[in-house]
């Protein structure tokens, strides 16, 4: 390698070292400001705690083997709430509309549901096995519960 390349590599190493030092200093500055503001009462310790209390609690829970149990419970609650929200998001529109929404022959339902629920022609092909040509200016009942059942069968 040439002398210029070596100088460039040394300058890059210095720059990377300075960046690492600056990152550590920013982290330490943030943690120290957090600790000072928690001890002086500038922030509510109930909601934000302090870095030393968090580290102490972490070490205690690790020694007593409780940390993974608490993490497992939190993950279980998160997954359970996700599935609960998903079931509600899938079932509530179907229960709210039930048999009362009328579809026109142009292929669109009269309600303001998402595109996959609102197309009458796709609904009739999937849920009722009807020919799309049957949608000629007549009104069909859109029972969205059947629609959802037919979509989940795919």
Q: What does the chain look like in DSSP terms, one character per residue?
A: --HHHHHHHHHHHHHHHHHHHHHHHHHHHHHHHHHHHHHHTSS-HHHH--HHHHHHHHHHHHHTT-HHHHHHHHHHHHHHHHHHHHHHHHHHHHHHHTT-PEEPTTSBBSS---HHHHBHHHHHHHHS---GGG-SS--EE--HHHHHHHHHT-
Q: What is the pTM of this model?
A: 0.47
The pLDDT of residue 113 is 47
Kindly report, residue by residue over 81-90, the tens digit of the pLDDT. Answer: 998 888 888 7
More confident residue, 148 or 140: 148
Whether the per-residue pLDDT at 79 is higher than 90: the answer is yes
């Amino acid at each position: 390698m040439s002398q210029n390349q070596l100088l460039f590599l040394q300058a890059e190493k210095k720059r990377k070292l300075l960046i690492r030092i600056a990152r550590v200093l920013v982290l330490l500055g943030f943690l120290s400001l957090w600790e000072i503001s928690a001890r002086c009462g500038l922030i509510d310790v109930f909601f934000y705690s302090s870095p030393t209390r968090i580290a102490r609690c972490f070490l205690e829970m690790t020694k007593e083997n409780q940390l993974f149990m608490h993490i497992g419970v939190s993950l279980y609650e998160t997954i359970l709430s996700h599935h609960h929200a998903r079931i509600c998001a899938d079932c509530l529109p179907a229960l709210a509309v039930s048999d009362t929404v009328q579809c026109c022959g142009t292929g669109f339902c009269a309600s303001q549901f998402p595109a996959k629920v609102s197309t009458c022609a796709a609904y009739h092909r999937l849920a009722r096995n009807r020919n799309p040509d049957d949608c000629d200016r007549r009104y069909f009942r859109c029972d969205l519960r059947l629609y959802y059942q037919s979509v989940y069968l795919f």
